[in-house]
Structure 1
């Protein structure tokens, strides 16, 4: 009796796998040879392995990418990983779908054949030839073709990127940038847009994009380009700055880069562009050879109050980057003076302690420490303000929950500075107790 019940249950479970639901009151059994041996579902893009077994492309690609080197059905070692489209089975499946459309079965679309490495290399060689000859129209057609192929599927995009697309597009960008930016703006913008989905870029691509002509062109887009051009330019600059110090040094030599970066932060066009602009700004003020002059220019433009205002409602990533820049700018007297003059500086800094992230807390402690330590002794206004907004209690809590040694030293020194002013400002006049009743 038990074995019979188990057999019936197993047969019901297996029969469900072979059914495609159409209308509410009808069901349809899928022919076995139309189902993928891996997913047991109707194949949408049937392909055949060297072992002669047909699978759905997505299922077998996932199987191979996981590191399996044998055929799932025959267990034979795969001598070749080439997937041959099985057009006969695909047409039979499509015909079967059409015949059963009255049961709610939709016809599977004819799949596009993925691009091959050979085809990618051929297009790249034509792009290289067109860019060297400054053939803007010819190159633009080829770049658009690569973009369309990349949008078709993740497999196409992976094939394009793995075959060196970044260095080809970077070299083309440098060629057109070196000729005439105004005359080749269209193709330059198309190439920049393509580069943003080809990250990370290799060393050869970096060398092309980090050239003086390429950097000047990207700065030109920051100043004069449209919304997409400015966004793509700052994304590429962020990628370059994060990869190599030499690119930061070269970018710092371009005088025109400061104002458009400031404008991107002040008048945001999208969150990604704002974060990238903040990151490039941080690299320029913290590690470029001309960091003191660059910091002075940013401070005079009004970057300090702008960063403070961004901290008020900024998300985690924005707050961390804004605090990092503030920490660097407040290392200079000019930057601290701008911070002293803004009414929200201390309240916002103290509010961000222990509320955003460990990294943001460390930067906030450092900024508060620099402002309090470097204030003129006869003033004491910033220290009093820090006390009034709860800095003393926040710093005590920070020492209790734990932080880095560097932050611990700064927090301890801050507590000493605050305590001196605290003893003066928190003295209580005995007249305040005149209404209290003494215990008997």
Structure 2
């Protein structure tokens, strides 16, 4: 049996094609990962799947010397592995055997190196040994992967099988080495070669007894969840202890890794591949880890760590401008930066939403995208990842455009993969958090609101569970706390829950609008807390009745106008603008916005040196205000505002900005009468801009531009004396013809 297995492996290697993919180069130092035979680094954001072991075959005809030097580097790297915290969390015995065999192989290769007389006949065996060592290195890297410990535990059988195959390949390659190479070096080399082969063939690789016990405990805990009862804390801690998870932060790392695995499998299903059976298992494991993090750990040990969902300025080094790491659309830290055809970089999720909404222009420059292909910005991702790792946070794998659906959304009730066990675990975790809202100490409430903020941000399912658990009234009670961290987390949690229709209804029914407005107007509140409270008003304003109710609070609209005028951050101003825009869907709020000085504030923003997207938001808000007669009169009465709007129409690169600007001018003509039409007809540059939009604008913009042109032409024809000869409407350039828009 031994001989047959060895011979079949050798025949398999002999039939395998050798890919000419690597050029022979000078070898790097021992232990270096930049040796000529090291696997190429894939710069694509989609990363190697755990326990998949790709390997790069050396090029055909490569000289034995660089191949041997690269083998020394590989063996030294594998032999130096000792696992996380001095040991491997799973397959401890098998992994230690592999490391020991790699050490013996390194000693053998170092005996060969001084001779430098390896014949070309040894190339095939060395090539296969090189491929086997690459796979062994990948496998050991996976076994010590932080965040993947629970996933490796439940896949211990697969990992053991891969490890056996890798060690068998090492043994077969050693047996295939020409006898002249082994015996010609030294006696020690021959003994080491036989020892490596014998140890690799005889290595016993299977899940340890502790691994088996932990796996049975996981299955037992999931059964307890399925039957509706919480597991014993000792059983859950026994599993965590086995895989080396002993803190809140390490639980979060496990959840982030499982989340990325789940996203990858769902992406495969969306791409037309078969629906992975692992999806249900991953959901169960995620729910188990969430329950452990919420219930078993009393303290958050990551208060000073960076949070990937928060602005980068909080931890960005001085040599990097924080705004360069933020997506221009969401103003949040990019986790999967991609570059579009105009050269601008965005987060994949936000630019994908933009393109799928039918926009074919660059949000920053307004240029038309020549192609919708997204090129991963590996350099920027590397900078972000290194910065986060230096603060103890790992950047999850955001490899797919499907992430725009909030990767946690896979846990929504519409997804059948969310099993009864996972649902029960989630409900128990949510019930524990809400109980801490009611009767927990200050520290317990701080942790509970942090958990609510995290869980509700990325998961529709947890969002719905919090609403059903009546968490909204308790979170509203926590808005009056003097603890800034609790208040900040409570407002952020309410913001996430306000994205759910039931959450908005619960907030209004509990009388929460006044409390949210109080958070915005209170002196001394954190800027981020105020911004989140303003965003809550935006989601509430999607309902006309709620928008009218918000307008009844006398300080609500004036405070939004004040934030637009003197907001401390770009994001804060934008949040205030979109919230005010939503409130203006209620006609009664128009007069309140005008009385609060919104037109003057917006005019100052349009006249100042501000970014293009802020100017576009300003024009869109002015267009909404001008829909009512009082708003249009306020715009016309503001000194210099109408000429500035005409300049914006000519200079703006934003198609949406041009559309809102034309709509604003149409509203001014409708409510201002012939006097305004005559004024616009004399504006330098307006007619040329309108004709350009008729030729190149979107269908909606073309319709508005034609309407405005027709109004101006009609007014000009009516005002011209009948005895006067026909003359063109004034245009900025001599020789321009006036063509009536159809």
Structure 1 residue 6, shift from structure 2 partner: 9.7
In the other structure, the counterpart of 2:308 is none
Q: Deviations over 1:373-407 (max 9, x none)?
A: 55476xx5884466243112222222333543344
What residue in structure 2 maps to residue 369 of structure 1? Answer: 666
Distance 1:141 1:129 in 2: 12
Query: What does residue 237 of structure 1 align with?
Result: 537
| Pairing partner for 1:164 from 429, 444, 465 | 465
Give 1:189's aligned residue: 488
Q: Note the alpha carbon deviations across 1:271-291, whole angstroms, 9 max, x for none.
A: 222222111212222x22523
1:74-85 alignment runs, 5 A limit: none
Aligned-partner Cα distance in 2 for 1:135–1:386: 68
Report the CA distance shift for 1:385/1:293 in structure 2 as closer, same or farther (over 3 A).
closer
- Per the TM alignment, residue 214 of structure 1 is displaced from its structure 2 partner at its CA by 1.2
What TM-score, normalized to structure 2? 0.42
Whole-Å Cα distance in 2 between the matches of residues 252 and 266 of structure 1?
19
In structure 1, the partner of 2:509 is 211
1:34-183 matches, within 5 Å, as 35=138, 42-43=142-143, 44=145, 45=148, 47-49=152-154, 52-54=157-159, 61=262, 64-65=265-266, 66-67=268-269, 68-69=274-275, 120-132=426-438, 138-145=444-451, 158=459, 161=462, 164-165=465-466, 169-176=471-478, 181=480
Farther off after superposition, 126-135 or 232-241: 126-135
Residue 401 of structure 1: aligned partner: 696
Contact 1:372/1:414, CA 8 A, preserved across alignment: no
1:188-238 CA distances to partner (integer Å, 9 max, x unpaired)? 332113444x46732221122233631111101111133122111012221
In structure 1, the residue corresponding to 2:567 is in which secondary structure?
Answer: coil
Residue of structure 2 aligned with 1:318, choices 614, 626, 634: 614
Alignment of 1:356-395 (within 5 A): 356-372=653-669, 374-375=671-672, 380=675, 383-384=678-679, 387-395=682-690
CA distance in 2, matches of 1:293, 1:71: 58
- Other-structure match for 1:329: 625
Question: How many Å apart are 1:295 and its aligned residue?
Answer: 3.6
| Matched residue, 1:267 | 566
Distance 2:670 2:260 in 1: 63
CA distance in structure 2 between the aligned counterparts of 1:58 and 1:133, rounded to whole angstroms: 31
Q: 1:6 to 1:316 in 2, by over 3 A?
A: farther
SS at match of 1:251: helix
Structure 2 CA distance for partners of 1:367 and 1:269, relative to 1, 3 Å: same
| Residues 194/370 of structure 1: CA separation in 2 closer, same or farther (3 Å cut) | closer
Give, in whole Å, the separation in 2 of the partners of 1:34 and 1:418.
Answer: 80
Please say if 1:345 is aligned against 2:641: yes
- Following the alignment from structure 2 to structure 1, what is the Cα–Cα distance between the partners of residues 258 and 646? 56
Contact 1:392 1:418 (C-alpha < 8 Å) held by counterparts:
no
Return closer, same or farther for 1:400/1:47 CA change in 2, 3 Å cut-off: same
Native 8 Å contact 2:519 2:533 kept in 1: yes
Alpha-carbon distance in 1 for matches of 2:693, 2:21: 62
Question: In the TM superposition, what whole-angstrom CA distance separates every residue of 1:129-183 from its partner, at most 9, and x where no partner exists?
Answer: 3444596654333223555x769xx9xx559846734666534223446xxx366
Equivalence for 2:248: none
Q: Would the alpha carbon gap of residues 161 and 222 (structure 1) be closer, same or farther in structure 2, given more than 3 Å must change? A: same
Task: For residue 118 of structure 1, report the CA deviation from its aligned partner.
Answer: 5.4
Cα gap change, 1:423 to 1:310, in 2 (>3 Å): farther
Instruction: Give 3-state SS (helix, strand or coil) of 2:157's partner.
Output: coil
Give ranges in structure 2 of 5+ residues lacking alignment.
1-12, 23-36, 40-53, 57-68, 76-131, 163-256, 289-391, 395-421, 721-725, 732-742
1:223 is matched with 521
2:638 is paired with a residue whose SS is coil
Change in CA separation of 1:207 and 1:375 when aligned onto 2, cut-off 3 Å: closer
- Distance in 2, Cα, partners of 1:57 & 1:328: 45
Residue 434 (structure 1) aligns with? none
- Secondary structure of the residue aligned to 2:152 is strand
**Is the 1:340–1:382 contact (alpha carbons within 8 Å) kept by the matching residues of 2?**
no
Residues 1:57 and 1:32: Cα distance change in structure 2 (over 3 Å)? farther
Residues 47-89 of structure 1: CA deviation (Å, up to 9, x unaligned) = 25579323996885455333345579xxxx999976699xxxx
Contact 2:591 2:631 in 1 (8 A): no
Q: Name the residue aligned to 1:102.
A: none
Indicate conservation of the 8 Å contact 1:329/1:335, yes or no. yes
Cα 1:71–1:226 change in 2 (3 A) is: closer
Look up the SS of the partner of 2:427 in the other structure.
Answer: helix
In the alignment of these two chains, the number of paired residues is 374
Asked if residue 304 in structure 1 is aligned to residue 596 in structure 2, the reply is: no
Equivalent position SS for 2:647: helix
Does the CA contact (< 8 Å) of 1:166 and 1:195 recur in 2? no
Quick check: 2:438–2:474 contact (8 Å CA) kept in 1? yes
Q: C-alpha distance in 2, partners of 1:82/1:10?
A: 41
In 1, distance between residues paired with 2:471 and 2:709? 49
Structure 1 gap segments, 5+ residues each: 86-108, 428-440
Q: Distance in 2 between matches of 1:186 and 1:15?
A: 48
